[in-house]
Amino acid sequence: MKHGNGIEIHFKRRHILINIFYKHIFRKDVNQNCLSKYLCKIYILIFTYDYKLLYKGFFLIYKYANKCILLIFMLRTSISKLYKSLESNIRVYNKLYNTTFTKGCGVYLYDINNKKYLDCLSMIGVNALGYNHNVYYSAIQSYMNDNAINQIIDMDSEIRTKFLKKFKDFVSINDPYFANNMRVIFTGPSGSDAIDCATKVAKSHTGKSNVLTFKNSYHGVTQYNLSLTCLENRSYSFSINDEGLKRLEFPDKYMQFDIIDELIKHIDKYDPACLIIECIQGEGGINILSNKLGQIQKILKEHNVLLIIDEIQTGIGRTGKCFAYQHYILEPDIICVSKAIGGGQPLALIAVHKNINDLESGQHLGTFRGNQLAFYTGYNCLDYIIKNNLCENAKFLGYYLVDKLNIICEDYNEIIREVRGIGLMIGIEVKCCKMTKILHTQLNEYGLFVGLSGPNKNIIRLLPPLIFSIENCDELLNKFENALKNVNELQILQDCI
């Protein structure tokens, strides 16, 4: 039935089938014969909606099936269709990976088919210590066993204080001056809210309203932040058309302009409150800020323009230092931090220099800015990173991966344009979008969980957990090379045809 109540009947029938199999799936007398021909029949039947045949087909499988594979099949069809029936089309990564992940351990993910994936994305940098690390597990278990309060808005608490002290210790590793002069503002638990709060502080302190940002930047997708986000080839009709937002070309190693001249022109013309910058553009394509910044800091101070560094993706050791700005001669007025800072739990904050700590009580609020569990896991995560020197680990492995990837990609220069990155934040630029999709599919087949970035989504984005080892790197390199070989063979075959 295609109209009226046909959809409702469709789902009722499907759930009846699921209930039948839940009753029978774990019977001990199910034998272990091969399923392939029966599974093929069922796939055909389920998409033709012939339910009389489908009932018969299910029971045919029941008689001859491996119960585990049958359960997997049942769950896959049920979960994927249920998602589509309940969620909107706004999601991204479910379209890249047509599967459902069920568990994670260390640096590995497992899907509903029990397929093992080497995680090279950390859920966009959130899971710095991988999955179910003992630090997380013991922290959560210990905290919740103590009749702890989960949410406490902005009230004082012991774990809040411990977290703040540990965060100061962490910042002190590479920038003791800023650590000793900063004040922390906890925002809502997303990076977007941290950016919003930072620009609010800058405007409040300077009394000015204009903001400078860079092309191909990404600072969130709330309605205001969409104006700060400036990804080429992506436009949003619902973003605020704020005339006070001005965009500069990003000064990477390919820049063919004088960033100092451009900056002075924009400051003289627009008198901005702040300049906001990602030292490595993550969503923009792993574009790395040039070291040739000259007198940028001096110019900003002379014109009372605050420097906001977006460290949401680059921070907490990702680039081989505590924060990416520490690779440069930069003195931020505000840094924005989220993702990894919560130890896998939602948490965001900004650290502002004490001289610009001007917001009055209640001028920035957030119900979940007192996430006690995130303070606890964040504290333990930072403590583990410090004690195990994971910043240095990221630095060393970053050099190793970029060097080895460049060697591999030399033989595939018709596919790969460039490998670039700092620490465990690496981008592999593919020459065309079509080839990117093919390569991504091959990487998926080999069990590599990677991301895509760039305006055209032609950058393979690697953000592996900070607990990665040399052995994990070699596994990544081996699988990546095999995937490239397959893509190259497909390309040669297409050229011949």
- Each of the 497 residues of the chain gets a pLDDT tens digit; together they read 344 444 344 444 444 444 444 444 444 444 434 444 344 444 434 444 444 444 444 454 444 444 444 444 555 555 666 667 777 888 888 878 878 899 999 999 999 889 999 999 999 999 999 999 998 888 788 888 888 888 888 899 999 999 999 999 999 999 999 999 999 999 999 999 999 999 999 999 999 999 999 999 999 888 788 888 887 656 555 556 566 788 899 999 888 788 889 999 999 999 999 999 999 999 999 999 998 776 788 899 999 999 999 999 999 999 999 999 999 989 999 999 999 999 999 999 999 999 998 888 888 888 888 899 999 999 999 999 999 999 999 999 999 999 999 999 999 999 999 999 999 999 999 999 989 999 999 999 999 999 999 999 999 999 999 999 999 999 999 999 999 999 988 765 565 44
Would you say residue 33 lies in a domain? yes
Q: What is the CATH number of the domain that holds 483?
A: 3.90.1150.10
Would you say residue 1 lies in a domain? no
Q: What is the CATH number of the domain that holds 173?
A: 3.40.640.10
Would you say residue 125 lies in a domain? no
Q: What distances in angstroms separate CA 490 from CA 329, 442, 479, one per listed residue?
A: 46, 11, 17
Given 387, 421, 436, the domain boundary residue is: 387
Co-location of 340 and 445 in the same domain: no
Distance separating alpha carbons of residues 330 and 455, to the nearest angstrom: 27
Co-location of 422 and 361 in the same domain: no
Co-location of 179 and 115 in the same domain: no
Per the structure, the complete domain to which residue 332 belongs is given by 134-387
The rounded radius of gyration (Å) of the Cα atoms in the chain is 25
Given 387, 408, 423, the domain boundary residue is: 387
Would you say residue 449 lies in a domain? yes
Co-location of 169 and 218 in the same domain: yes
Q: For the chain, what is the domain count?
A: 3
Per the rule left: phi > 0, alpha: psi between -120 and 50, beta: everything else, 470 is: alpha
Co-location of 318 and 361 in the same domain: yes
Co-location of 171 and 260 in the same domain: yes
Would you say residue 94 lies in a domain? no
Co-location of 155 and 195 in the same domain: yes
Co-location of 108 and 60 in the same domain: no
Residues contacting 322, CB < 8 A, separation 6+: 170, 171, 173, 174, 175, 315, 316, 391
Would you say residue 92 lies in a domain? no
Would you say residue 230 lies in a domain? yes
Co-location of 262 and 281 in the same domain: yes
Given 387, 422, 447, the domain boundary residue is: 387
Co-location of 108 and 157 in the same domain: no
Co-location of 231 and 279 in the same domain: yes
Co-location of 356 and 260 in the same domain: yes
Tokens of 460: 């393979």
